[in-house]
Amino acid sequence: MKNKFSIIFMGTPDFAVPSLQALHQEGYHLKQVVTQPDRPKGRGRKLVASPVKQKALELNLNLLQPVKPNTAEFAEKLRQIQPDLLIVIAYGHLLSENILQIPKIGAINVHASLLPKYRGPAPIQWAIINGEAQTGVTTLFMNAGMDTGDMLISRPEPVLPTDTAASLHDRLAVLGADTLLQTLQQLADQKLQPSRQDHDSATYAPLLKKQDGRIDWQKTAEELEPFIRGMTPWPGAFTFHNQNRLKILKAAPIDEPVSEPAGTILKGFPEELLVATGSGALSILEIQGPSGKRLAIADFLRGYQLPPGTRLI
10-residue averages of pLDDT along the chain (313 residues): 83 98 97 96 89 98 97 97 98 95 98 98 98 98 96 98 98 98 97 97 97 98 98 97 96 94 93 96 96 94 94 96
Domain ranges of the chain: 2-201, 210-303
Closest CA to 6 of 33, 40, 41: 33
Reported CATH class of domain 2-201: alpha beta
Q: What is the predicted pLDDT for the residue at 21?
A: 98
- CATH domain 210-303 topology: Methionyl-tRNA Fmet Formyltransferase; Chain A, domain 2 (3.10.25)
In the chain, which ranges are E strands?
A: 6-11, 29-34, 39-41, 46-48, 63-64, 85-89, 106-111, 134-141, 151-158, 237-241, 244-254, 265-266, 274-276, 281-288, 294-296
Would you tell me how many other CB atoms lie within 10 Å of the CB of residue 163? 21
Q: Is 115 exposed, middle or buried (0-12, 13-18, 19+ CB in 10 A)?
A: buried
- The three-class DSSP label of residue 70 is coil
pLDDT value at residue 180? 98
Write down the pLDDT at residue 3. Answer: 65
Whole-structure pTM value: 0.95
d(CA 64, CA 10) in angstroms, rounded, equals 9
CB distance 25 to 98 below 8 Å: no
Among 89, 90, 88, 110, which Cα is nearest to 99's?
A: 88
Instruction: Pick the closest to residue 227 from 123, 129, 130, 118 (CA basis).
Output: 129
pLDDT at 45: 87
CA–CA separation, 45 vs 41, rounded Å? 5
The reported pLDDT for the residue numbered 306 is 95
**With contact defined as beta carbons under 8 Å apart, do 184 and 5 qualify?**
yes
Q: Indicate the burial class of 3 (C-beta count within 10 angstroms; 0-12, 13-18, 19 or more).
A: exposed
